[in-house]
Structure 1
Amino acid sequence: MATQAKRRRVVGPTGGGEPDTDPVAGFLRWCQRVGLELNPKVVVTRQGTVAGYGMVALDSVQPGELLFAVPRAALLSPHTCSIGGLLERERGALQSQSGWVPLLLALLHELQAPDSPWNPYFALWPELGRLEHPMFWPEEERRRLLQGTGVLEAVEKDLTNIRSEYSSIVLPFMEAHPDLFRSGVRSVELYHQLVALVMAYSFQEPLEEEDDEKEPNSPLMVPAADILNHSANHNANLEYSADYLRMVATRPIPKGQEIFNTYGQMANWQLIHMYGFVEPYPDNTDDTADIQMVTVREAAVQRAKSTAERLLLYERWDFLCKLEMVGEEGAFVVGREEVLTEEELTTTLRVLCMSAVEFREYKDRDEWREDESREDSLTITNIPKLKASWRQLLQDSVLLTLQTYATDLKAEQDLLSNKIYAKLSWREQQALQVRYGQKMILHRLLEMTS
């Protein structure tokens, strides 16, 4: 999954051999050796791509046409790496919150090995020291540019988990196997970089429908597939089968057009957090804005006229928590056309806006969900039809949310609409796009609730 960072040969931390003078040619020779079939209609190139390496159509491609097929033996995973047996035997000791430790150890081992079979594949990876994820930005810059977007909180959780995972699981494992992990890879900085790389480049095979109760599949690296850049308006999709992973065209791709995969329905704050780039407004049709659940509670409490009313609101909040509709760290997610957490927000507005008598009756019902009604639907276009008390609470919540940003919408519009934008740093431009997209969604909600 390509980021917008410049790519080059990744030399192992302790040497690892000389880079191929033509990384693409070396990669294509490797593809032939491992049976990775590339359609002659596509080319791996930097020319005509939105960022770094990508794939471009040399000839017109039709929907359903195979772009390339990756044999499972060519995937880089804890099962296919050269220390796969050890990782499997130690699987219990390598369990972590992320579930990524075995893959990260596989990468740490293979990157340092001069004769790793994946070296030609590594040649197309980005320079690890130049990844643009916000976790690598100076803290002051991150706070200044991304306050209010949700990225700060996500990064803080990541950094805490990475440090804990490295010190308690990864480093002890490497120190227990010094013959497999040279001192040059025993570095928390390198581990940070590889976590970001796995965030941006790995794939996670979806579970079968009957396996929905199982833990998610572990991530794996898919050569060729991770060369494709992302677009919400993508034209290709990865399909999984027993022997191969296939990238297939989903619509006509004219000659000369870049081939885009999708990383999923990703808001811009998720793209910059996980991949280090965004889609400029208004290209990301999957963009969202969050309203923290506790912000709605705060807005309701602020309107309470007495201690008794405030206590009743906290009782209602506890009830919503028991229904698993809200949580202290949860958020209501609003897209450009719909509320993605419609049931949760609808139920929250209903309960918090009830009279005391209505709440007592509602709380005692067994089939409370049957109380949902069409007129209370939270599709964006239907928000003006909501009850006045619901609209007022939603509006107050949006206003509180907008206060969490360091700047207002007009300031963002001024930056975007004049020559100043071109003079901003790359990080400033990316962060501005995140903030602007979110504020546009929130201001539309304000209009709908007025």
Structure 2
Amino acid sequence: MATQAKRRRVAGLAGSEDPAPVASFLSWCRRVGLELSPKVAVSRQGTVAGYGMVARESVQPGELLFAVPRAALLSQHTCSISGLLERGGYAGGGGTPRRACGAGWGPNLFVSLRARRAAEPVGMGAAAAGAAARAAGPGLALEPLLCAVARAGPLGAPHVLVRAVGGAAPPEEERRRLLQGTGVPEAVEKDLANIRSEYYSIVLPFMEAHPDLFSPRVRSLELYRQLVALVMAYSFQEPLEEEDDEKEPNSPLMVPAADVLNHLANHNANLEYSPNCLRMVATQPIPKGHEIFNTYGQMANWQLIHMYGFTEPYPDNTDDTADIQMVTVREAALQGTKVEAERLLLYERWDFLCKLEMVGEEGAFVIGREEVLTEEELAMTLKVLCMPAEEFREFKDQDGWGDDKREEDSLTITNIPKLKASWRQLLRDSVLLTLQTYATDLKTEQDLLNSKEVYATLSWREQQALQVRYGQKMILHQLLELTN
């Protein structure tokens, strides 16, 4: 969705842009019964990135911006090949990429590949795609439109995510250089490996088994990567009811119009789900000419750049976080051991924490600006690694039960200075080790940000990576001050 550099908000609506994509999209909306308020418009003008939605008139909280009938949504249950997917036993297993097919995204990728073929004979415009949909039958009502977005990007395909996991990916060396220590290079590499594995083990065999639906032209790993990027960036996850929290997540949905909105942590609109339709409703006053923002979720800058290819400049992203790898805390604790017996005891403590499912080799403690998002896990880890040996033996014999959490052991940000000295020291040492994983220090980042001339010479990728690094380091340095 948000695919280009974040720019200053500029008031205004229609401009010199080519009206064909928007006109075709709005025509399609009318055909499927999608109600767009006369107070809003889809436009490139006055948006932070690519296409977006802006207010033609002032909008008040609670006002309906648009409503999407459920018949216009695309999911594995509404597509033309839903029966085939069910009969073939493909319900979304696998791992493309992290948080993807395991949550039911896989069928939408097959739908996208099928849509790609359906739209090929009649061209790339959204109107032509609609003609292909009608020719192919009612079940393909949205698929060719999705295809048109994927191939031509008329409403702003997620180009940066395609660069992250798709065929035009920046070299590994560049990702490492710009984002070392942030967690992004590792996330991208894991995604690439999962995409490749699933394509050859599940996707390609499925397409080869149904050559009447999937032509050789769509049997491409590169195309599959780009469609993964598209579905990840554009899809929505319908929330579960409270009583269904233990169930598998609902299948992702492709929601037209909602996928045009850009993201802000301090968003002014929200998508509401009802039995008959999905409604985008204003949550704040929106002045005339201002952009309408949805939220893609509570996402740190490293997640935004990984999933969508942009960041919010510091300090705008109130959901930003920094990670301290769990094994880094173990490494910091090992620095304090002097003899082999102490090291062995520390590994025993670590194994016990693993048994309690408080830590793992690939896990991380997540620190926000105002709270520790993994408070329980970090508090227990500091407690077990710092407690006297005899106390640990007794604690282990009780399997960690019977422990009364004291207020002074609370790991809220404001309470960190009140922690036991041993806890604060271990946390401080862990932060220092984490800061060593970055290629530059905080002062270097501050100098770049404080010099408008130098910042302007940076490439788009360099600017976005700088925002990720700087936001994380500010959180980590805040921790350093609190543990002094």
TM-score (norm. length: structure 2): 0.87
Match of 2:372 in 1: 339
Residue 125 of structure 1: CA displacement?
Answer: 4.0
| 1:237–1:323 distance in 2 versus 1, CA, 3 Å | same
Long gaps (5+) in structure 2: 6-17, 96-100, 120-131, 134-140
- Matched letter for residue 72 of structure 1: R
Q: Establish whether residue 103 from structure 1 lines up as the match of residue 70 from structure 2.
A: no
Match of 1:172 in 2: 205
After TM superposition, list the pairs within 5 Å mapping 1:105-120 onto structure 2. 105-114=110-119, 115-116=132-133, 117-118=141-142, 119-120=144-145
After TM superposition, list the pairs within 5 Å mapping 1:98-247 onto structure 2. 98=101, 99-114=104-119, 115-116=132-133, 117-118=141-142, 119-120=144-145, 122-123=148-149, 124-127=154-157, 131=161, 133-135=163-165, 136-247=169-280
Q: Separation in 1 of the partners of 2:455 and 2:332?
A: 35
Residue 21 of structure 1: CA displacement?
Answer: 6.4
Root mean square deviation, CA, Å: 1.7
Q: Separation in 2 of the partners of 1:126 and 1:111?
A: 17
| 1:129–1:305 distance in 2 versus 1, CA, 3 Å | closer
Long gaps (5+) in structure 1: 7-19
TM-score (norm. length: structure 1): 0.93
1:227-268 deviations in Å (ceiling 9; x for gaps):
000000001111111110111111211111111001111000
Match of 1:448 in 2: 482
Match of 1:60 in 2: 58
Contact preservation (8 Å) 1:346, 1:376: yes
- Matched letter for residue 84 of structure 1: S
1:148-194 deviations in Å (ceiling 9; x for gaps):
10111111111111001100111111111112112221110011011
Residue 408 of structure 1: CA displacement?
Answer: 0.9
Contact preservation (8 Å) 2:199, 2:224: yes
Residue 339 of structure 1: CA displacement?
Answer: 0.6
Match of 2:299 in 1: 266
Match of 1:322 in 2: 355
SS at match of 2:254: coil
Greater Cα shift, 116-125 or 75-84: 116-125
| 1:400–1:367 distance in 2 versus 1, CA, 3 Å | closer
Q: Separation in 2 of the partners of 1:431 and 1:255?
A: 33
Percent of counterpart pairs with the same letter?
Answer: 77
Match of 1:420 in 2: 454
Count of residue pairs brought into register by the alignment = 436
Residue 43 of structure 1, aligned match among 41, 44, 68: 41
Match of 1:79 in 2: 77
Contact preservation (8 Å) 2:268, 2:283: yes
Q: Separation in 1 of the partners of 2:160 and 2:182?
A: 23
Match of 2:98 in 1: none
Contact preservation (8 Å) 1:44, 1:56: yes
1:59-108 deviations in Å (ceiling 9; x for gaps):
11111111111111111112222222212221347632323221001011
Match of 1:9 in 2: none
Greater Cα shift, 389-398 or 368-377: 368-377
Q: Separation in 2 of the partners of 1:132 and 1:426?
A: 15
Q: Establish whether residue 356 from structure 1 lines up as the match of residue 354 from structure 2.
A: no
Contact preservation (8 Å) 2:235, 2:252: yes
Residue 132 of structure 1: CA displacement?
Answer: 5.3
